[in-house]
Chain A
Amino acid sequence: MSESRVGDVKHEGPLLRLEGITKAYPGVLANDSVSFELCVGEVHALLGENGAGKSTLMGILYGLQRADAGRIVFGGEEVSIAEPRDAMALGVAYVQQHFSLIPTLSVAENLVLALRFGGRRISLRDGAATVRELSDRYGLGVEPDVAVERLSVGEQQRAELLKALAREPRVLILDEPSSLLSPDEVERLGAVIRRLASEGMGVILIAHKLDEVLAVVDRITVLRRGRNVRTLARADATRELLGELMIGELAARVDQQPAPHAAAGDEVLEAVDVSVGGDRGQTAVDGVSLVVRRGEILGLAGLQGSGQVELVEALAGVRPVTGGSIRMNRRDIGALGVRARRRLGIGHIPADRRRGGLVGDLTIAENLTLPVAGERPFSRFGVLRRGAVSDHATELIERFGVRTPGPAVAVATLSGGNQQKVVIARELWRQPSVVLACYPTWGLDFAAAAAVHDELERQRDAGAAVLLASMDLDELLSVADRIVVMQGGRVAGEVDAAEADAKEIGLLMGGAGR
């Protein structure tokens, strides 16, 4: 598939043009006079780091936001898109990253709703038939009558795509479609996209990683800090050039070899045949065994839905284990809650700092104190000792380099990078013997991510056993000592980072190989 037709599609002139789009939000200029063009039958990638303005631009195209300045030209005529209805009327379909299907309804019912409010009346029976027809035509494998909440993540995403295709759009926007898919499924999706393009549909792919993009597209537009930095043909785009455009400096691309350090010590944390349930009642982790050693960073690689998050949460005591046991220093700690494990020396940097990590309305000091508020010196007889709390916070802010006017500021006002520093400070200040970090650099820019990596390495060098769960292979290869790959809730393989082959790991993550 990767060799087919890329770069030689005949373009018939612009189907869609965005000119001079500008949009500002409180505190940030999301789009700064951006121009973008899409031709008939073209697959055009919109590339940029998190926060570069890609989703804002597409949101404006789809009528979810209104631009402050600029115009949209469709098929040669200027149009006004005030709400999604207008965009849909023009033939624009948007498959977003978060799922938009109504979970308690079936795919067919969702389709009927979508079509009806797009102007086409269709009965429920016809809806089911349409689902089957589209599913067969594009090889999507979606069942019409099952409630969406009962489908797997991959199936849900294909159902989203099907819903968009049912309106026979002229322009299809896909937002980071492959973030949830295995390499196999990415290929399958790529084939579907090329098929759609060959039928004349214009496809816009929003992406922030380099690989998924290169294989399928005709042109790439790179956004950085709200500006269109360059639009180039696929043939001219190399990984290095794209990386440089996205980041803006000669990407000091992280050395893929970790710096040498002392060899790992004994086992500290052990998972023995652990099974854990997921949020929707599924088996998220199925009989996983692994070991984290003193003075080592163990990377846990996997895609979304591989069970990494659930496993880390189980190790931390946030999520109950449904089978197997967890041992620390040979002792079974399965019955212990989060507080008890923290006292044993387990620190947990959770996956989503905003929702699962910090309490936004509370101050930095309160967040830092929260897990230990009941202990001396922070309180006595249940009453908080403000002096101790404040001093503690000031000390940690300094030590972990949090940029803030003071400890009494609400954490919600901090930037992402600083918020993550607060989480890290909260978890690591007592030098835990085990550090469980789950997606710690998610949504952070290059400098902030590097700071996180530095801290993890510092902990490791001080003798902690570190588990780093991540979906980013580059990160794992440059930071971890060993890498365990999870796929579909099981361990798919284990490799030594120094000798590892990125492609092999990628295959393991996707479910191929061994």
Chain B
Amino acid sequence: MRLVRKRRGLLIAVGVPVLSVALALVVVGVLLAANGSDPVAAYRSMVSAAFGSTFALSTTLIKTLPRLLPALGIALALRAGLWNVGAEGQIYVGALAAAGVALFGPVIAFPVGAGLALVAAATAGAAWGAIPGALRAGRGISEVITSLMLVYVAIHLTNYLVEGPWLVSGSTFPATDAVPTDLRLPIIWSGTLLNAGVLVALAATAVVAFVLNRTVFGLQLRAIGSNDRASRVAGLSVGRVTIAAMAASGALAGLAGGIEVLGARGRLIEGFSPGYGFEAIAIALLGRLNPLGIVGAALLFGALDAGGAGLQTTAEGVSSAIVPITEGLAVVFVLIGLGIVEMLGRRREARAMLEGSQAADRPVTHDGLAGPVVGA
């Protein structure tokens, strides 16, 4: 699957998403207007809730966190040609592991205690990702289906624990006890709720970029993502790389779950993820599978989330719907926009060839042409 287009300009990579978000906001404005709200006022309150104060900015960053890490994981897997559709489930098991360690394990001060819990979260996520990876490596079973199935296993498992054995005694609200303070991720921006998790996420971004481009594992990943048959013939163990890639992907998502528990929320709450793992798929693609691009896309969605939360509207439930609507529309427009760019690009290229504007030493491409009929 050729998702990485090296020749596409930065303009398109940034322009299309931004334009799509703008368009989505316009549509949302129309919806709001039709419902009797003032769209301009709505925009204003959204912008101020996302960027208007240090608290707003910190909220944006907090909301970016649980989207960024899973998206990095999905991009990593995708570069290996693997679809980790189950990131949502990995987020939950990561949260479970972190909560388990934090609530029932030894209380050690930051950073060791929280560090251990986060390691547990990443490990749990890695295991949850390794299962579909192993099934794909060993039996050729599509990781799309298996990782998707495991999402709901994870969600129900979490529900079971949170509503049952781990429920705060005497409460009906489906959540666990608060995590011991020593194990919480400390606030790093005083006056806000922004916790150390954001540092972990930034570090992870750098690590992912490094791994992809500068390590043996990254090379192997990209090789099997491009041509797994040739990789096999060259001596790569495709199975091992597959499992490792899915595990790494899961670890990142699990880490996000752990950060949610130890950070902003401070406890494990049922349904705490409104689909971060699924949004992450869109974010990974919006970011063109590039760590920097993903940071940008995640920030965009984080801002939308923060902005939406600050929306003042008339009807109950409208404000919570604005975010998914905007995000969904934005991604749909991006997908369409990228499709248009692709079509235009192809047409332009073909015309250029016909006019002989190609350099004379452009290689003869008989062998390289796809398609069954040409060049036999």
Contacts and interface: CB of A to CB of B under 8 A. Distances in A.
Contacts, number: 148
A256 interface: no
A369 interface: yes
Contacts of A286: none
A166 interface: no
A243 B362 CA distance: 28
B216 A416 contact: no
B215 A359 contact: no
Given A28-B365, A348-B233, A56 B358 contact: no
A97 B376 contact: yes
Interface stretch (B198-206, B298-306, B349-357): B349-357
A361 B2 contact: yes
Contacts of B4: 361
Contact of A50 (B214, B216, B366): B366
A65 B375 CA distance: 13
A254 to B, nearest CB: 22
A175 B373 CA distance: 10
B235 A338 contact: yes
Nearest to B375: A51
Interface string A339-357: 1001000001010001111
Interface size of A as a range? 35 or more
Contacts of B369: 25
A452 interface: no
A250 interface: no
A373 interface: yes
Nearest to A427: B234
Interface in A318-360: 318, 337-339, 342, 348, 350, 354-360
A325 B356 CA distance: 56
Interface in A19-78: 24-28, 30, 50-51, 54-56, 58-59, 64-65, 68
A119 interface: no
A401 interface: no
B216 A55 contact: no
Contact of A370 (B215, B219, B362, B376): B219
A68 B350 CA distance: 12
Contact of A384 (B214, B366, B372, B376): B214
Interface stretch (B120-128, B133-141, B165-173, B221-229): B221-229
B6 to A, nearest CB: 8
B365 A26 contact: yes
B10 interface: no
B242 interface: no
Nearest to A413: B363
Given A26-B353, A50-B366, A369-B219, A55 B231 contact: no
A512 to B, nearest CB: 28
B353 A24 contact: yes
Given A50-B375, A56-B373, A370-B231, A25 B365 contact: yes
A390 to B, nearest CB: 13
Given A25-B374, A416-B367, A361 B215 contact: no
A379 B216 contact: yes
A494 to B, nearest CB: 28
Contact of A415 (B2, B6, B367, B372): B367
Given A24-B354, A358-B227, A361-B222, A175 B234 contact: no
Given A27-B353, A50-B376, A97-B376, A419 B367 contact: yes
A26 B366 CA distance: 10
Contacts of B374: 25, 30, 55-56, 59, 65
A102 to B, nearest CB: 15
Interface string B1-32: 01010100000000000000000000000000
A139 interface: no
A382 B216 contact: yes
A498 B376 CA distance: 32
B223 A370 contact: yes
Interface string B236-253: 110000000000000000
B207 to A, nearest CB: 12
Contacts of A362: 219, 222-223, 226
A98 B227 contact: no
B219 to A, nearest CB: 6
Contacts of B217: 382
A358 B353 contact: no
Contact of B230 (A26, A342, A356, A373): A356
Contact of A68 (B219, B232, B354): B354
B364 interface: yes
A370 B375 contact: no
Contacts of A27: 353, 358, 362-365
Contacts of A342: 235
A348 B234 CA distance: 9
A372 B365 CA distance: 29
A411 B87 CA distance: 33
B220 interface: yes
B103 to A, nearest CB: 35
B368 interface: yes
Nearest to A318: B233
B234 A374 contact: no
B215 A382 contact: yes
A371 interface: yes
Given A358-B227, A359-B231, A416-B366, A175 B219 contact: no
Contact of A359 (B227, B372, B376): B227
Nearest to A59: B373
B233 to A, nearest CB: 5
Contacts of B235: 337-339, 342, 370-371
Contact of B364 (A28, A96, A350): A28
B293 to A, nearest CB: 18
Contacts of B350: 26
Given A27-B353, A68-B354, A371-B234, A354 B372 contact: no
17 contacts: A25-B365, A25-B374, A26-B358, A28-B364, A30-B375, A98-B372, A350-B230, A358-B227, A359-B226, A360-B227, A361-B222, A369-B219, A370-B219, A371-B236, A382-B216, A384-B215, A443-B366
Q: Which 8 A-B pairs have the closest CB atoms?
A: A416-B367, A51-B366, A55-B376, A415-B363, A338-B235, A361-B226, A26-B353, A59-B373
Given A55-B373, A374-B216, 14 more contacts: A25-B369, A25-B374, A26-B350, A28-B364, A30-B375, A65-B373, A357-B233, A359-B227, A366-B223, A370-B236, A373-B220, A384-B219, A412-B368, A443-B367
Interface of B: 2, 4, 6, 214-217, 219-220, 222-223, 226-227, 229-237, 349-350, 353-354, 358, 362-369, 372-376
